Amino acid sequence: MISGHSDQAEERLGVLICGHGSRNRLAVEEFAQLAKALSSRLPGIPVEYGYLEFARPILRDGLDRLRDQNVNRVLAIPAMLFAAGHAKNDIPAVLNTYSKETGLTIDYARELGVNHLMIGAAGARIQEVIESSSPLPMSESLLVVVGRGSSDPDANSNVSKITRMLVEGFGFGWGETVYSGVTFPLVDPGLRHVVRLGFKRIIVFPYFLFSGVLVSRIREHTRRVAADFPDIEFLEAGYLGDHSFVIDTFKDRFDELIEGDNAMNCSLCKYRDPVLGFESEVGLVQESHHHHVEGLMESCKLCESECNGLCQPPAVSSESSVSASHQHDHSHDHQHQHGAAHEHSHGHHPYPHANHPLGPDSLKSPDLGES
C-alpha cells in the first residue's frame, strides 16, 4: 500500500491503470480501449490511465485527473503481465513520490500474474490461429511462447509456466519459451534451435498485452527464420489484447484491493530473498529510471500507428542489438532522431547473463538496462 493522508471525510474511489507506454500509437490506442472496457465494469468509479514512458498521459497526469474529480483514494493497477522491475520499482516509485507530495492515498495492486483467466485468454488466441489453419494432429505441432524478457528471473520463469500450462492444455508435441530481449534465448536463436526437433508446424505466440515495437520485431524474426526453413509451417498467433478474460483479471485486481486481499507473491523476489545468481540485489533501493522519457513519443514524427523503425540507428543489425535498443527505447536512437540527448546514468543492477551467447550481449553497454 502507498498511503497518504486525505483530509476529506467521505472516501471517493478512483482507479489508475498504470502502463509502460510505447512509441507505437496503435499500442497506445489499444491501452486506452482497455481502460475504457474496465471503466464499463466499474460504474460510478472514475477510471484514468497513465504511462511510465514515451506516451501521454504520464502517470502523474492520470493522478491529477482523478484528483480533479475529487478522488481521495486511488486504486492503482499495474498493467503488467508479471512482477519485474516496472511493477516492483518504477511504478511504485512514481506513486510514492506523488502520494508524498499531495497527501493522496494510493493503494497498489499486484500484477496480472499467472491465473486461469490469463491462461484462458492466451489459449483463445492460440485457438484462433489453429482454427484458421489446415488440420494437423496437435502432437505434431510445437508451441513457442515469446515473453518480453526481464533481468528478473522470477518474471522470466513465469513465462515458462505459461508455456507449460498451454502445452498441456492443448496437448502440443513440445513447447519452448523465448524472449524478445534482455534475457535468453532471444527469438531468432531460439527458433533456430527448435526447428531441429523435427515438428511440422511451429506456432509462435507473443505473450504480450498490446501491439508495439517488440511484437513487430517478434513477427519480423519469425518470418526470417521461416524463410530459411520452408518445409516447416510457421503460424503467428495474436497477442492478448483486450480479451474479456484480461479485463476480468483487471477487475479481480480491483476487487482484491477493495477486500484487502492483495498479497504479492514474493517467495522468489530477488529484492527480498537471495535468489540463486542474484544474491547481490537483495534490498536494492526502490526507484524509477523513466522520468527522462515521460511523454517522449509526442516529439516523434517518423511514423503514424505502427512503429516503422526509422529511429533505429543504421548500424544496428543483429537481433541482440535491436532487441536491446527497442526494449530500452531511451538509448541513442532518441538522441539522434529527436534532437534531445538524454545524458543520464541508470541505477539498474547489471544483468549477470547479458553476454549469454543466445542473449542480448549488447546489454553490456552502460546505456542499456532492463526494459
Statement: residue 271 has pLDDT above 60? no
Q: Which residues of 72-105 are buried (b: 16+ CB within 10 A; e: fewer)?
A: bbbbbbbbbbbbbbbbbbbbbbbbbbbbeebebb
pLDDT (tens digit per residue) in 149-170: 998 899 999 999 999 999 999 9
Statement: residue 8 has pLDDT above 70? no
**Per-residue model confidence (pLDDT) at position 369:** 36
Query: Residue 232: inside a domain, yes or no?
Result: yes
Q: How far apart are CA 246 and CA 123, in angstroms?
A: 12
**Per-residue model confidence (pLDDT) at position 361:** 60
DSSP state letter for 111: P
Average pLDDT over residues 78-82: 95
Query: Residue 177: inside a domain, yes or no?
Result: yes
**Per-residue model confidence (pLDDT) at position 2:** 60
pLDDT (tens digit per residue) in 189-218: 999 999 999 999 999 999 999 999 999 999
Statement: residue 55 has pLDDT above 70? yes
pLDDT (tens digit per residue) in 351-369: 666 777 777 763 344 333 3
Q: Are 240 and 122 in contact, with CB atoms under 8 Å apart?
A: yes
Percent of residues, the chain, with pLDDT higher than 90: 61
Statement: residue 180 has pLDDT above 60? yes
Name the nearest CA neighbour of 25 among 311, 329, 292, 307: 307
**Per-residue model confidence (pLDDT) at position 281:** 65
Q: How far apart are CA 226 and CA 292, in angstroms?
A: 38
Which cell numbers in the block locate residue 186?
A: 532471444
Quote the distance between the C-alpha of residue 189 and its chain's center. 21
**Per-residue model confidence (pLDDT) at position 282:** 72
Query: Residue 39: inside a domain, yes or no?
Result: no
Amino acid letter for position 80: M
CB-based burial label for 194 (10 Å; 0-12, 13-18, 19+) = buried
* Entry pTM: 0.78
**Per-residue model confidence (pLDDT) at position 58:** 96
Average pLDDT over residues 86-92: 88
Q: Are 289 and 347 in contact, with CB atoms under 8 Å apart?
A: yes
Containing domain of residue 168, as a range?
A: 116-236
Amino acid letter for position 93: A
**Per-residue model confidence (pLDDT) at position 317:** 35
Which residues are paired to 141 by β-bridges? 201
**If pLDDT is split at 50, 70 and 90, which confidence band does 297 have?**
low
Q: Are 137 and 199 in contact, with CB atoms under 8 Å apart?
A: no
Query: Residue 211: inside a domain, yes or no?
Result: yes
- The gap between the terminal CA atoms of the chain, to the nearest Å, is 24
| Dihedral (CA of 282, 285, 286, 292) sign | negative
Q: Give the chain's mean pLDDT.
A: 81
**If pLDDT is split at 50, 70 and 90, which confidence band does 186 have?**
very high
Query: Residue 229: inside a domain, yes or no?
Result: yes
**Per-residue model confidence (pLDDT) at position 330:** 37
CATH number of residue 224's parent domain: 3.40.50.1400
Statement: residue 29 has pLDDT above 50? yes
To which residue does cell 504480450 refer?
208
Statement: residue 9 has pLDDT above 70? no
**If pLDDT is split at 50, 70 and 90, which confidence band does 315 have?**
very low
Query: Residue 294: inside a domain, yes or no?
Result: no
Which cell numbers in the block locate residue 20?
A: 509502460
Query: Residue 131: inside a domain, yes or no?
Result: yes
Could you give the number of structural domains in the chain?
1
Q: Are 301 and 307 in contact, with CB atoms under 8 Å apart?
A: no
Query: Residue 74: inside a domain, yes or no?
Result: no
pLDDT (tens digit per residue) in 244-259: 999 999 999 999 999 9
